[in-house]
């Protein structure tokens, strides 16, 4: 008998509906219910003990899955920065157009995929672009304000990202009222079109 099995047990009450779902899930995995719940508890404790948040982790996973589905790939940041700055010098207009179109496609994709595509865009940017310190969406007096800040973004990178965001909002059929940027800061004000 293993050490784990020799531990004493305690009866824990949980809502019947929740237990039914867990019984189904444990049966799908071919595990006894108690083991299934204990494993979930162990994993959750591990998450919290390392200072993470389980709810955030589930949300993160959804984001990552949609990133995979939308054809996102990992790229070395140094290469990414070089390419943006290099191409920006020689083909600025072409590059801005490419980023806008790419954003527009992404906006349409998010509209199909998420109930709140604007918030999804903010979450995706926050999760995928860790060169951004903050991505914030706020609704004030019927207008939505999106703000991105970064201490790492170059001026070119900031302008391209704004173009991508503008494209995404266009793809979501939002009406952009105002947009501005400076190195490491993007501000966009828009309304949702019904």
Partner 1 sequence: MPKIRRKTFAAREDLIERASEVAKKKGFSFYAFLNEILQLTLQAEEMGVSLRSLIEERGLLKAAKEASFVLGLENLWYEMTDIACEKAKRRTLECWVEAGAWLAKRYVSGGIKNPFLAFKRDLEAFTWNVSELDVEEGKGEVSIRIISPKFSESYTFLLEAFLESALETFGYTRFNKDVSRGTIRMKAYRGKS
Site for partner 1 in 32-71 (CB under 8 A): 33-34, 37-49, 52, 54-55, 57-58, 60-62, 64-65, 67-68, 70-71
Task: Give whichever of 42 and 119 is closer to partner 1, judged by the CB atom.
Answer: 42
The answer to whether 147 and 160 are in contact (CB under 8 A) is no
Site for partner 1 in 134-193 (CB under 8 A): none
- Minimum distance, C-beta of residue 142 to partner 1, in the bound complex (Å): 31
| Distance of alpha carbon 190 from alpha carbon 175, whole angstroms | 5
For 145-167, b/e burial (b = at least 16 CB within 10 A) is ebebebeebbebbbbbbbbbbbb
- Please report how close the Cβ of residue 16 comes to partner 1 at its closest, in angstroms: 4
Stretch touching partner 1 by CB under 8 A, among 15-23, 110-118, 141-149, 184-192: 15-23
Radius of gyration of the chain from its Cα atoms, rounded to whole angstroms: 22
Of 34 and 133, the one with the shorter C-beta distance to partner 1 is 34
Measured from the CB atom, is 21 or 178 closer to partner 1? 21
Beta bridge partners of 187: 147, 180
Among 98, 137, 176, 187, binds partner 1 (CB under 8 A): 98
Residue 191, C-beta contacts closer than 8 angstroms, at least 6 positions apart: 142, 143, 144, 174, 175, 177
Phi and psi, residue 129, nearest 5°:
-110, 85
**Paired residues of 55 in beta bridges:** none
Q: How far is the CB of 122 from partner 1 (least distance, A)?
A: 15
Total number of residues that touch partner 1 (CB under 8 A)? 76
CB 169 within 8 A of CB 189: no
**Distance in angstroms (rounded) separating the CA atoms of residues 130 and 110:** 20
Is residue 114 part of the contact set for partner 1 (CB under 8 A)? Answer: no
CB of residue 194 vs partner 1: minimum separation in angstroms? Answer: 28
For residues 50 and 38, what is the distance between their CA atoms, to the nearest angstrom? 18
The span of 73-81, 114-122, 136-144, 170-178 binding partner 1 (CB under 8 A) equals 73-81
Smaller CB separation from partner 1, 8 or 194: 8
């Amino acid at each position: 008998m293993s050490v784990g099995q020799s531990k004493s047990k305690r009866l824990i009450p949980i809502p019947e509906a929740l237990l039914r779902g867990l019984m189904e899930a444990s049966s799908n995995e071919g595990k006894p219910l108690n083991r299934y719940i204990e494993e979930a508890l162990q994993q959750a404790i591990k998450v919290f003990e390392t200072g993470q948040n389980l709810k955030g982790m589930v949300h993160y996973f959804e984001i990552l899955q949609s990133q995979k589905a939308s054809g996102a790939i990992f790229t070395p940041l140094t290469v990414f920065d070089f390419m943006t700055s290099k191409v920006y010098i020689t083909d600025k207009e072409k590059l801005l157009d490419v980023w806008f179109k790419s954003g527009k496609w992404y906006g349409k994709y998010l509209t199909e995929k998420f109930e709140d595509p604007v918030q999804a865009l903010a979450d995706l940017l926050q999760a995928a672009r860790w060169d951004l310190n903050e991505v914030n969406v706020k609704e004030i007096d019927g207008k939505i304000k999106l703000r991105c800040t970064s201490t790492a973004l170059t001026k070119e990178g900031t302008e391209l990202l704004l173009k991508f965001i503008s494209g995404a909002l266009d793809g979501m059929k939002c009406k952009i009222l105002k947009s501005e940027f400076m190195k490491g800061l993007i501000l966009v004000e828009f309304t949702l079109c019904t």
